[in-house]
Structure 1
Amino acid sequence: EAGPWRGRIIHGRDGKLSLQPYGTEEDEVLYSIGRQRINVFLLEELRAAEAKPAGSPGSVVTTFGAKLAYASRDGSLEFETPDGTISTTPGRVLGCDGAFSATRKAMGRMCRLSVSLEYIDHGYKEMTMAPAADGSYRMPAGGLHIWPGSDVMLIALPNLDGSFTCTIFGDFTVLESLKTAQQVEAFFGSHWPDSLELIPDLAEQYLANPNGALSTVRCGPWHLDDRFLLLGDAAHAVVPFYGQGMNCALEDCLALDDMLDRFSDDWSAALPFYYSSRKPATDALADLALDNYIEMRDKTVSRVFALKSRVDRALNAILPRGAWQPSLHTAVSFTSMPYHKARAVCEKQDRILLRAATSVAIMGLAGIFTVASRCRKRT
């Protein structure tokens, strides 16, 4: 139940569509999976694990409607529930409770945990593009649709029911300035004319739906002794522009499992190494996600960006496999390189291209100067 995306589908002001592929191979595609479907899948897996005999490997006990109220350094926890407070002392606490983690807050009371929660000046608003009258998609469903803009951006993600989830990103001063249907329609009509036809009730949805904020969470260390550990957004929430938030959280689990294998399940030895080896990657992803907002919003319609993309792809095709990455997005999405290493590889490539372009320009100017000098001598 996942739809493949082959690339970015850029909408021109004239309504024409152009595809910017994510990868260079046929199987290099991204898959769009609805959040609800993922939640259902995880709950089904928990239900299967809960059916196992208590205490057996892989068995779990689930409790819903419980809010973490207090935690102590020995691992004892108190939860608030509709029926009152419950206490428990698990062997270990894994805080996978999101960007506004209660586990992280509790750890901050017990150790010198540094936390940075940084909001950006831009927010978002979601709308829905309904399916066509016959239930089909109103646009091609094989990619991420982007309507670029210098200070705002509209995107659309296909859903399995034929609809699209559309999101406008922009400075809050812009989002909050559109207060009437006439203002909304004039704004969208001037920036992305085809959006009004594709979303007939756009103005109504825009005025009814709330604005959302975007933030980045960085913190450290992620662990307290060998009893508490933060994973996923609780440790490193990022803005959504790289589409890597959940992938990064799943990668946390793989990296943690590998480190526990390395240290023979000695958590006290494994956790410091897990944190120190994983932190550079998640910090890099936070920066990449912010940078990709600018790329999606501004650079996807830049001729210089398009020329560089063609050069990178040509070098990738000419050179031995793996010697040159066709793009940073490809390196992040379709290789196993950690985020910080993928960024370092592509930054090195950019420096090589810059030096090459500079050398070509200097040789060109030298040639022009030589020709001009000879012409003056002849005259």
Structure 2
Amino acid sequence: MACTNCSTGTTDGVPKGCNNNGSCGTGSCNKLTVFDWLANMSLPSGQEPFDCVEVRFKNGRKEFFRNTEKLSLSIGDIVATEASPGHDVGIISLAGELVKIQMKKKAVDHLGELPKVYRKASQKDIDIWSTARNKEETIKVKAREIAIALKLEMKISDVEVQGDNSKVTFYYTANERVDFRQLIKDFAREFSTRIEMKQVGFRQEAARLGGIGSCGRELCCSTWLTDFRSVNTAAARYQQLSLNPQKLAGQCGKLKCCLNYELDTYLDALKDFPSMDTKLHTDKGTAVCQKVDIFKELMWFSYENQSALWHVLTVSQVKEILAENKQSRKIAAIEDYAVEITKEIEKNFQNAVGQDSLTRFDKPKGKPNKNKKRRKPATINKKNAPKKE
């Protein structure tokens, strides 16, 4: 995920990079890029362009501003916007009629009171903004040292300095409530500016830091995922996954977001399955469900007094037995049904691994050829033989 500025101008094979850390002026460095599909369409006669714009700041923060000065703004322009206190500097991420749709999606009243865009950023504004962004890493390191000295159970994950260098926002994660009154005093004394603390979730922190998931690809939260839905262990149970915390947890320490991706498909497939609490009544005893294979539509049952011996049945066979039980009739044994399905499975089963030997790529060892003639021992020429003394 890089723009043309990041991928060109290499020196010794190392990309030059734009050093904007996700706020590239080209607007194509990150997942917050928006394609304006109305850009080439002209407005009907007599209609004025929408007077609100969407501005992107650091850490994925987006806010809406009113263009009261009727400036000619387009995606990628750097603007100075109203802030409290002073002003902030951001990049236009969306302009035009699509802003109205985005505001409706986020439940923002476009007729209400909104902060305004002051002007297009001048070179002086950009220089101050760049200087502020360059010192964020130093501030973050010093802030962590102060938090550790106060023995606070929190982690300062990122720092954002306002565009006019008048306020610093600290993003932190914590498991419990943190009393940081003394921390703010120390920060104000150390950095001589206004301090603001914002708590973020562990998923949002992982989205900003980025990384590679267990699938071998970039994290979804750092590339395209913008809304974080709650994930619980029930999603893993429905998908017949083992409840292993090391495998189900992502880099944020919470359950992986991808557990929700196929959950709806599994739930639709399970609608045709009898409940896991289903019991089959037979003359041999009561059988309970032990396992379900959603893709093959198979269910495994065992008798209550023989829990180690499982019998496989299809979903249609289970429904047939349940229909008999509903009419107060018992079948002889589930083995009668299990034998049929077992033969069918064995007939369709193909051992793909056993078709070829695992050592087929090994270099074969040569066998000695018994028919090969043995070499005769070398004979000494009597003429050249040494004489006996």
Q: Same fold (TM over 0.5)?
A: no
Question: In proportion to residue count, which structure has more helix?
Answer: 1
What TM-score results when the alignment is normalised by the length of structure 1? 0.23
Per chain length, whose mean CA-contact separation is higher, i.e. which structure has more relative contact order (CA < 8 Å, sep 6+)? 1
